[in-house]
Structure formats: structure tokens, C-alpha cells
Structure 1
Amino acid sequence: MHSAPAARTVHVGVGLPTGDPAALLTWARRAEAGPFRTIGLLDRVVYDNPEPLVALAVLAGATSRVRVQTEVLLAPLRDTALLAKQAATLDRMTGGRLVLGLGVGGRADDHRATGTDLHTRGRRLDRQLPLLRRLWAGEPYGDDVGPVGPAPARPGGPEILFGGFRPPALRRAARWGDGFLAAAPPSWAQDLFATVRRHWREYGRPGEPRIVAQVNVALGPDDVIDDARARMHAYYAFTGMADRMTAGLLTTPAAIRSALTAFGDLGADEVVCYCHGLDPDQVDRLADLL
């Protein structure tokens, strides 16, 4: 029987709010100056959020150390060759700091706006993955179509993490990815982590998958917490579980420290603390509790 890796001190990242794109430079610079490893950004199309690859490119230019991570980029909404080129460009220009979190999403309006089929999004992603890997390896796109450059900084392409909860997502993380991105509390995440690790061994992958967890946080006065709850509720309204999601918002240093410890006990490598509220002082408050 395989057990989870031993508890470890986890790295911590900052998930950026989507409500004020112009303020994200402030967030990124504060994260760069703090003890954080990663800055992350969500993806949607039919929503008032910045496009993540464009936004992270700007933020990468304002930083030199922190990783820039999509959480998660909805790959089936995008043309595969163009996505390969954009990701390779960002990875190359940041010296390998891009972490490409990928998922399928689930909003019908995003698919209508991009002319893609909601019902075949998982199959489309499964077709995209080998092509992305081939293009990043410098191979031709296909018959009578040459390679798509530039070469990424990281051999084989940027690090890929897969987000999701269903069995196909967990298998993708083990087969095609470098690891798993879990937006779930420790009580749910334990089984998800174990399943990804089991599939990893079944596919004969060496070592262990990188495991990154995500928690929703709000630190500050009541107005900061209220702002975070309202924005979180609006973002997740389409799921029908917005109340359940906002109920899990961590709003005290003790609760956040407890989550970090719990994920460390499960063998997670990193926890991204996602801030939906717009107050950038939350970065400093998070740094203080670490």
C-alpha cells in the first residue's frame, strides 16, 4: 500500500483578484517582495476578468522571481496552435516561470462566445494535449505544416498542472501533466491526491506528481471580507454552489495556518491563497502570518 509523502513545509502562492486589472501590478510587486512562490489568475471569457495569459505576461515583466500560474486556463476554448505559441513565448521570456494550470470549465456562455462545443470539451482537451507537447518539442504541426515556435525555456514545454475533480481530470494530471491543482479543502483533497498518485504510478511516471492546493482567503476588516464574499459568490454563481463556496472562505490567520498545515500533512508542495477581495494589503497580511 502506498501512503502520502511525509508532511512538508509547503510553499505559498497568491491568487489574484479579477475585479481590478489595473491594480494587479501592485499585487504582483508585493508578492515578489514577500515570501510567495507563485501568483495565479483565474480564467473565464464571458465575465469581467482579465485574460490570464495577457495579464500574466504584463505581471511577469514587472517581476523577476515569482512564478506566474493560470488557475485554470480553459484550454478547450482556445485554438491549440495559438495556445502553444502563447505559452511557449511566455515561458521563454520569463526564463521558465510559467505554470500552465489547465482545465475544461463548464459555462455554456463561454463556449457559445468562442464557438466551441460544451459537451465535447473534455475530448477536445484530450486531443489538444499531445499536440501541445509535440509543438513544444519542436516537431511539425502536421503534414505540410512546419513547427510552431518559439522553443519554450523549459524542455518539453511549461509545467502543466491539471485542475478538476472528476476521474478524467485526475487521469489527465497523471498521464499528461506535471501535477495536480486542487481547489478543494483538505477533507476532500486527500482522496483526490491519492487517486492522482495512483494513476501516476499506473502510467509508469517517475518520481511523484507535483501537488498544488488552492484555498480562498480574505484577511482584513469586515469590509474586505464582505467584498471577497460578494465577488466570490458572483464568480461561482453559475455552479449553483456559490453559498457552499463562500462558506469555505478562510478569514483568520489561524484558519489559514491550519489549512497550510493540513495540506502539508497530505504531502502538498504548494498552497495558493486565492484573494477575491480587491484590497492589496491582503498580500502583506498573508506575508505576516507566514
Structure 2
Amino acid sequence: MQYGLGLPISDPGLLVDWARRAEAAGFSTLGLLDRLVYDNPEPMVALSVLAGATSRIKLQTEVLIGPLRETALLAKQAATLDRMSGGRFVLGLGVGGRADDHIAAGTDLRTRGRRMDDQLDTMRRLWSGAAHSGDCGPIGPAPLRSEGPELLFGGFRPAALDRVGRWGGGFLAAAAPSWAGDLFDTVRRSWKDHGRAGAPRIVAQLNVALGSPALVEEARAAMGAYYEFSGRADYMVAGMRTTPGEIRTASAQFEELGADEIIFYCYGSDPSQIDRLAEVIA
């Protein structure tokens, strides 16, 4: 089992310290969420900075809202970060369900799924070195692999889950252990149905806050504000694990379900959580 950290978004200036401390503590991955109409750092820019501040740890979008972005430029950005990080970049993708993000980007919320499938087809072609179109040539730089950086897909609906097998990516599960198992089974079926060899990589996300009561309250408030749009903020906050025992139990449940990696997502800003979490999983 590998363990990564989802970075807090409240203060971008803290993230270099988080990244260096996480790498020194042996964590596998740094994850960063994506919104447009929100007070969060833009993940491709932020992860590029963190790539320069680290040397081993993976850099992962959790998840980048692909349809908000222009496809050729996204392909170029992803390939650049892949090359310059030495293959440490993982492109986690989702379609985004917040209407305000799509309004700000000028994209159509209703067609976001079809748009992302078109984006994936185009990016894979561009990463392989093919011309963009009959009117213009290839777009570099080439990623380290012809198929591009490693892909992860987030989501819950059948079309979203089927992208794992269709495009040969992994699955990022923002779900509690109590109902993540069905999602895992669905993406494994998709993998087989599309004739993929082996098995998809499955990454589980666990919301945590480990420290003083003030830190826990800070994390709960930040998480509640982030999920306020959904009408389910209280439910999401209630699922946050705030003790070593709760974190170990949930981690063991994900491991039993066959997850390959767990990302401990931290909404609290105190980087000393890194050392506390490292002790929990030691």
C-alpha cells in the first residue's frame, strides 16, 4: 500500500513546505484539487512549482476539470510537466459538476462528458506525435511515454467509471469505504470489458485532520465551505477521520477492498499533520 497527501488549499504559500516535508516523510504522492470559481491555487501551476521543490514524490491532480480547459494547451501543459518532473506527474481528470465553474470558463455544463472524451482522444493523438489537424502540425514536447502521463479518472456515474477501461487509466475514489467497493468492482469490470491486461490502479481518498481541536475545527470549516454548493456539506464533514484509530481503520478497509494507494486529504493548514500521519501508517 502507498500513502499520499492531498494538499490544503487555504494558503498556496504553504505548499512548498508541505511538499518538502511530505517527501522527507516518505509519502508517495502530492494531490491537489481543482476549481475555477473558488479561492484555491490553480493545480497545474502549483504542481509545477512543487515539482521543482521536490525530486521523488508524485504530483497528481485530484481531479483536474478537463472540460474547463482548451484541449491542445492542456495536452502541452501535461506533457511539459511530465517531462520536466521526470515522469512524476499523474493527470487525474473529471468533468466537474459545479455550474459556476463552467459559466466562468464559457463551457457547456450539459455536454461536459462528451467534451472530455473528445479531449482524451485529441490529447492521446498529440502525445503520440500526430499532427493536430490538417491545417497545423504536432504539438510538443513529447511526454516520456507515447500514450502520455498516467491517467486517473474520478466520478461516480457509469460513463465516468467506464473511462477507466476505455482509456486505460486508474480510478480515484472520493468515496467512503462503506460504498467504495461497488465502484471498485465497476471499474475492474470496465477494465476487463475493454480487453485491458492486468488491473486498473485504484486510488482511494480519505479526508483527515489530525491535531489539536482548533486544527480539526479549521479543517471541518474549510471542508464544509468547499462542499456547501452540494447541499451535503454536513454529511461530507461527518466523514472526516480525526483520530489515529479512525484513520487506521478506514485505511485497513480500503486495503481489504484492494486499493493500491490512499490519499489522505488535509483541509487543515498545519503541516505538522504530515509527521502525525506518517506515525499512523508506520
TM-score tier, shorter chain, comes to over 0.9
User: Which residue number corresponds to residue 21 of structure 1?
Assistant: 12
Contact persistence 2:163–2:169 (CA under 8 A):
no
Deviation of the 1:177 alpha carbon:
3.6
1:20-99, aligned counterparts within 5 Å?
20-99=11-90
2:206: which partner in 1?
215
Query: For the residues of structure 2 that align with 1:146 and 1:206, how far apart are their CA atoms?
Result: 33
Please give the alpha-carbon distance, in whole angstroms, between the structure 2 residues aligned to 1:280 and 1:222: 15
1:154 Cα deviation (Å)? Answer: 3.0
Deviations 1:143-185 (A, max 9, x none): 1211110011233100000000111110011111421000001
One-letter amino acid matched to 2:161: L
Q: Give the counterpart letter for 2:119 in structure 1.
A: Q
What SS does the corresponding residue of 2:141 show, helix, strand or coil? coil
SS at structure 2 position matched to 1:30: helix
Superposition TM-score, scaled by structure 2 size: 0.98
1:271 aligned counterpart, secondary structure: strand
The amino acid across from 2:53 in the alignment is: A
Q: CA RMSD in A?
A: 0.7
Equivalent residue for 2:262, pick from 250, 256, 271? 271
Q: Indicate which of 159, 162, 166 corresponds to 1:168.
A: 159
Q: Which of 233, 240, 264 pairs up with 1:242?
A: 233
Q: How many residue pairs end up in the alignment?
A: 281
Structure 1 letter corresponding to 2:267:
H
Preserved contact between residue 91 and residue 154 of structure 1 (Cα < 8 Å): no
Instruction: Look up the match of 2:177.
Output: 186
Check the 8 A contact 2:169/2:200 in 1, yes or no: yes
- Determine what percentage of the aligned residue pairs are the same residue: 67
- Report whether the alignment pairs 1:288 with 2:279: yes
**1:111 maps to which of 91, 102, 111:** 102
Partners of 1:154 and 1:286 in 2: CA distance: 33
d(CA) in 1 for partners of 2:130 and 2:230?
Answer: 39
Q: Following the alignment from structure 2 to structure 1, what is the Cα–Cα distance between the partners of residues 43 and 16? A: 13
Query: Contact 2:168 / 2:191 at 8 angstroms: preserved in 1?
Result: no
Structure 2's unaligned 5+ residue stretches are none
Post-superposition offset of 1:260: 1.2
Aligned AA (2:61): T
Letter in 1 for 2:102: H
Counterpart contact for 1:159–1:177, Cα < 8 Å: no
Matched, 1:159 2:150: yes
Distance, in Å, in 2 between the alignment partners of 1:136 and 1:260 is 35
What's 2:126 paired with? 135
Determine if the alignment matches structure 1 residue 226 to structure 2 residue 217.
yes
Quick one: which amino acid aligns to residue 147 of structure 1?
P
> Secondary structure of the equivalent of 1:150?
coil
Of 147, 162, 167, 2:138 maps to 147
How many angstroms apart in 2 are the aligned matches of 1:266 and 1:147? Answer: 42
Structure 2 equivalent of residue 261 of structure 1: 252
TM-aligned CA deviation for residue 259 of structure 1: 1.3
